[in-house]
Amino acid sequence: MKKILICTTFREFNENENAKMQNMFLDSLKSQTYKNFELIVTIFNEKNVENELIKSKLPFKTYTNQTSEYRFSLSEVFLNGLKSANENDIIIWTTSDIIYDKDFLQNIQKKVKKETCAISYPLTIYNDFNCYMNKSGKIFYDGIDVLMFNADIFFKNKEAMDDLNKYKFINWGMFEFFLIGLGKIYFKKNLIIAPNSIKKIENNRQINNESDHYLNASNQNNKEVFLLFTNKHNLDNNFYEWLLNFKMASFNPILKIKNYLKLQNNKNKFLRKIKKIIPKVIKNLIRNILYNK
């Protein structure tokens, strides 16, 4: 049986709604039908994380980074997972604000073969913990919260490891698109949509003093790192289109329809622009012909 390493980090466990949500994340792992997994958790100065992991009775390993230069680094979270991995293991990078269906890991270990990158995303998002309790969610369209790789590709490919070490993402934003970029480069056609039987509860960012300014500045900094990476590899950096294309491969009919309509709308906008431009082009051509005569 393949071992699955689940790489993540947590916010502090302070008996608030974010802590409740993180405990639900842990509970969803406890209920998995596939049991050969281990949590690989990187702690960045957050309190009570290890105590909660012990209480959960889940298998786990922790790495600690007590830096004061940034709040957290998702690059480090993923690299610490690779430190703990063997060649045939499956590495999952995930946020801790989601809830897995009980068969999620069982399906993953069947899907992720050698040299495969799999992507999953929540079908439903809840704006906060109360929305989840009231079951007032909405279809989630724009995010990716889980990426899975066969660890073997990183051990065999020095360039992939060099990219992971060179392009460091700190605080919030863009890291998932960087992982997709690695998948596009090093996994070629072996990019798949994994079973997406997961739900997402949005963090209450006010509890953790994550202001809009902090989030925007962090995302902008990471976007610059991401663009350096895409430029190096001559990779199309239109990451939204990547996301759209991956989700088009989903078996969810509602998302297929929404994606199709969005693409059609973009095409119609393009055609409307062309229709406006063509008369001007024709007029200019006629003028040039007459003038040359």
> pLDDT digits over 81-101, tens only?
999 999 889 999 999 988 999
Split into its structural domains, the chain has a count of 2
SS3 (DSSP) at 209: coil
Residues 41 and 135 in one domain: yes
Q: Edge-to-edge strands of the sheet including 191-193? A: 60-64, 37-43, 4-8, 90-94, 146-150, 117-120, 191-193
Residues 182 and 230 in one domain: yes
Span 96-132, pLDDT tens digits: 988 999 999 998 888 787 767 777 777 778 888 788 8
Residues 81 and 128 in one domain: yes
Q: Which residue has the tokens 């270990």?
A: 109
Residues 155 and 284 in one domain: no
For 164-183, b/e burial (b = at least 16 CB within 10 A) is beebbbbbbbbbbbbbbbbb
Residues 144 and 237 in one domain: yes
* Owning domain of residue 277: 252-293
The pLDDT of residue 193: 65
Residues 143 and 41 in one domain: yes
CATH code at position 69: 3.90.550.10
Read off the pLDDT band of 254 (50, 70, 90).
very low
Say what the pTM is.
0.79
Residues 275 and 200 in one domain: no
Residues 258 and 238 in one domain: no
Closest of 48, 71, 70 to residue 62, by C-alpha: 48
* Separation between Cα atoms, residue 285 and residue 80, nearest integer Å: 62
Span 38-65, pLDDT tens digits: 999 999 989 899 999 999 999 999 999 8
Q: Which residues sit opposite 124 in a β-bridge? A: 139, 199
